[in-house]
Structure 1
Amino acid sequence: MPDTIPNAQLTAWREAKYSTRADMAEAINHTPTAIANGLVCDEERLRRWERGEVRWPHPPYRKALQELTGRTAEQLGFIPPAKQKERSRSRTGIMSPAPTEVEPDRVDAAELARTAEIVRLTQWVTASDTNEEAIARLARSTTSLAKSHTRVPAKRLLREVVQLHRRTQELLEGGRHRPRHTRELLRIDSDLLAHAAVIFGDVDLDAVAEEYAAAALMLAQEAGASESFAWYAQAKTARWQNRFIEAADLARQGFEASAPSPMKTQLAWYEANAAVLLGDKTRAREAVDRAERSAEATHDTPSDLSVWSFPTERQALFSLSVAMRTGDLDGALQAAEMADSAWAAGTPISPANWAQIRVGTGVAHLLRGDLEGTAEELTKLLTLDPGMRLTTVTRYLADLHRRLAGPRFQGSPLAVQLRQQIRDFNAAALTDDPDMESP
């Protein structure tokens, strides 16, 4: 075999521009000729070139090198076949075949076809009409909206959530994305749809909430992402439509599908609450046991608070509700004290959660025959911003209003006064908002 002569010119050029052969090989693969011809250059190919094992690359590689370097193959130290023959004659007087990378008339067509397939696959995987930063911005905005849930009036927040969902959907439907970009966009839109479903329920639009929650679950499953938010939104919607057995079953499915998290715990409590509303106290107690075991593994901190959080005071609300409906009025009031203690210690207040605790505590006092205690809780509630008077609050109050109309409180001026205060409170929380963007 003929002696090899190291290609010092190519090596010098590469070392001046790239720190490794692999870096230069990657650059060659991105030249127009390499892409058009399906070339695959790697570190080993460059090593052979530099060691002189290949004196004259095939035309596509020569053209790709020229596009990258701005120099001809000869200027890069390669030797054309004619000059190789001259050198061979001058040394031995015998013509010997010059080594080439692959003899042109013996190129393996099947190998080139396989190479082209790999290049097409790579191009398909990496092609995208969006980028990492655009998706990251959507994800950050989605998280910010979730964190704003406890602080911003529902109808105002709903506009923002629906608008961001529409932007995400347009990006999904209108572009060509890398598979992982598509999965991330599906996950983001699933979270937005689930959040919107929660708010639609809060403003008494349960039918729309149901549609959004179902779409959220479908997108989460398609993305292979966590389904817990979507299951929660579905269970919440069913509960407020008084479909208690369905709400309990949806919450249980979500619990089983969820990894350990605060939402997993909340789903167990949701099953317990729906079961006790149905009158199935045994199932409610079993769900409470699951919730307590789940809570041992996870917890929220104040910085984690969002629509998906399950802090102590929200757990207290579920505990209060279940205890009250099982006749444990002392346990219900203890649960309310647990929430009030957390707020007194500096835990951020969620107005809607706080309002629900006030109503639940008022009902517990009423069931004990303590009408003055009910009046005290209702007086605190009257200061709540109308924008925070969600349906989940006004429906609790409607239940209290019904109880106050019972025979036990007939002829009580205080009961009449409380019923009027409830009517006035709920009237200020009308959900018909001309500024709210329709879904």
Structure 2
Amino acid sequence: MTENGSLAGALRESGLTQAELADKVNARLICAGHEGTVSDRTVRNWLTGKTLWPHPRQREALEAVFGCTAVELGFSAPERRRPSNSLEAPVNRRNFLTATTGTTVAVSVPLVGAPPQVGTSDVIRLRRGLDALMEVDRSRGGHEGLERAALLGAQEALAKQKLGATQRIRRRLFSVAADYTATAAWSAIDARRLDRAHVLLGKALYLAGMAKDPIAEMRVWNSYAMLAHHRHEFTEAVDAAYAAQGTGIARRVPFFASLAHARTAVGHANLRDRQAALRSLGHAEDALTKAEAAGTAPSWIAFYGPAELLAMTAIVRDRIGDAAESEAASHNALATIPEEFRRNRALAMCRLALAQLHQRDVDQACSTASTVFTLMSGHPIPGRMRSLLGDYYRDLITLAPDASIAREWGDRYRTEWSRL
């Protein structure tokens, strides 16, 4: 067995760990509509030469990550494949269940009579699958394929929960199932499938309660607040944001408290309660200044920080009539939102266009709004963003119905809408 020096060199140059490479490959697989089944053990097999020629899907994902061919990465195709006459042990067999989008999940068939082999490693592997899904969300946004993949993850976690060796492991698997279900709910919100999201959030809150997991509970209440916002149920949005503030993690950890206060500020702004909105915004800013670096925070909240708080500030300011302050906050947010958060950058750009439009700067607003289509080029626009662009267009034709640039933007809008 000869070590794969080419892959090892590429790994060193990229600065990735084996686990991080596995996550990136899984993210590529999920984007292509497949299940992310690569683990750090898979990567070790590649590096040690135990695996000379990965599965075609894995090869394609590796090539996409490193920008070179599998052969250049040190792999070599076998000269020929001989059919095996040996019977595979039942413990190593796999049943493959294929979702309607082509997503495939590998399910182990245990040896009859064997004791359950469910423990910490299963929890870690499932958590990595969640991280891969969140990476897809950052770039593309919510869609049905992401929702299905998340629900399959929840299904696997719950199946393993029944086999958990200890109560602690079973609770951790309930927690994982809650997070997968909340991810599916979030995907439904982003895709504007709001009734579906409501059902999924109810399941996620139940699972979070079974897990006694305050972080999962906080996540669900945060999503409930967003769901109510998109349903224009603004009083319920404030109530859900207060529930997020009341979770154990928000009471103990300023970073989580900051997000809950920011969500409350948006709810008050939608109710046109200026003082309450600014007060909650101030609490969010104060909490964030007290927060430690969120390096160990779960991947679902990786979007939050100073940049996202600025983006939420832009929403609050615009809703309470401070369009100039909203524009400034949007500019500052766009200067700091990481490039990989493509969807969030596009949403912030749309908010910037609205703030400019509400100041009657029609030409600049239309130019800014067109940038949204450029940012999302190559990816379908999620339903939540499509709705926001619709809000922009309605305000545009209300404020400048006869402007030629408004008509030109409307033509572009309709073209992009029909294409996407």
Q: Is TM more than 0.5 here?
A: yes
- Change in Cα spacing, 1:238 to 1:394, as seen in structure 2 (3 Å) is same
1:249 aligns with 2:243: no
2:273 aligned partner: 280
- What is the aligned counterpart of 2:157 among 168, 176, 183? 168
2:385 aligned partner: 393
1:324 aligns with 2:318: yes
Q: TM-score, normalised by structure 1?
A: 0.63
2:42 aligned partner: none
Task: Verify the 8 A CA contact 1:130 1:177 in the aligned structure 2.
Answer: yes
- Change in Cα spacing, 1:402 to 1:210, as seen in structure 2 (3 Å) is same
Give 1:372 shift: 1.0
In 2: Cα distance, 1:419 partner to 1:348 partner: 28
| Structure 1 unmatched ranges of 5 or more | 1-126, 430-439
Task: Verify the 8 A CA contact 2:161 2:169 in the aligned structure 1.
Answer: no
1:201 aligns with 2:189: yes
Task: Verify the 8 A CA contact 1:197 1:213 in the aligned structure 2.
Answer: yes
Task: Verify the 8 A CA contact 2:311 2:348 in the aligned structure 1.
Answer: yes
1:371 aligns with 2:359: no
1:231 aligned partner: 221
RMSD of equivalent CA atoms: 2.3
1:298 aligns with 2:279: no
Task: Verify the 8 A CA contact 1:317 1:335 in the aligned structure 2.
Answer: yes
Give 1:371 shift: 0.8
Code of the residue aligned with 1:319 in structure 2: it is T
In 1: Cα distance, 2:260 partner to 2:336 partner: 22
Map 1:174-213; keep pairs closer than 5 Å. Answer: 175=163, 177-213=165-201
Give 1:153 shift: 4.9
Map 1:307-386; keep pairs closer than 5 Å. Answer: 307-309=300-302, 310-343=304-337, 347-383=338-374, 384-385=376-377
Give the share of equivalent positions with the same residue, in percent: 18
Cα deviation, 1:191-241, whole Å, max 9, x if unaligned, reads 111111111111121111111112212211221112211111211111111
Task: Verify the 8 A CA contact 1:320 1:335 in the aligned structure 2.
Answer: yes
In 2: Cα distance, 1:249 partner to 1:232 partner: 10
Task: Verify the 8 A CA contact 1:149 1:306 in the aligned structure 2.
Answer: no
- Change in Cα spacing, 1:169 to 1:304, as seen in structure 2 (3 Å) is closer
In 2: Cα distance, 1:203 partner to 1:271 partner: 22
Code of the residue aligned with 1:144 in structure 2: it is A
1:240 aligns with 2:230: yes
Cα deviation, 1:78-121, whole Å, max 9, x if unaligned, reads xxxxxxxxxxxxxxxxxxxxxxxxxxxxxxxxxxxxxxxxxxxx
Cα deviation, 1:261-306, whole Å, max 9, x if unaligned, reads 5343222111111211122222212211221122112265699794
Q: TM-score, normalised by structure 2?
A: 0.66
Q: Which has the larger radius of gyration?
A: 1
Give 1:157 shift: 2.8
Moved more, 191-200 or 210-219: 210-219
In 2: Cα distance, 1:136 partner to 1:357 partner: 33
Task: Verify the 8 A CA contact 2:254 2:291 in the aligned structure 1.
Answer: yes
Cα deviation, 1:139-195, whole Å, max 9, x if unaligned, reads 22223323442024532433321221111122234x364211111011111111111
1:158 aligns with 2:152: no
Give 1:336 shift: 1.4
Cα deviation, 1:313-346, whole Å, max 9, x if unaligned, reads 2212111011112222221111112123225xxx
- Change in Cα spacing, 1:404 to 1:424, as seen in structure 2 (3 Å) is same
- Change in Cα spacing, 1:263 to 1:348, as seen in structure 2 (3 Å) is farther
| Structure 2 unmatched ranges of 5 or more | 1-114
Cα deviation, 1:236-263, whole Å, max 9, x if unaligned, reads 1111111111011101111121231534
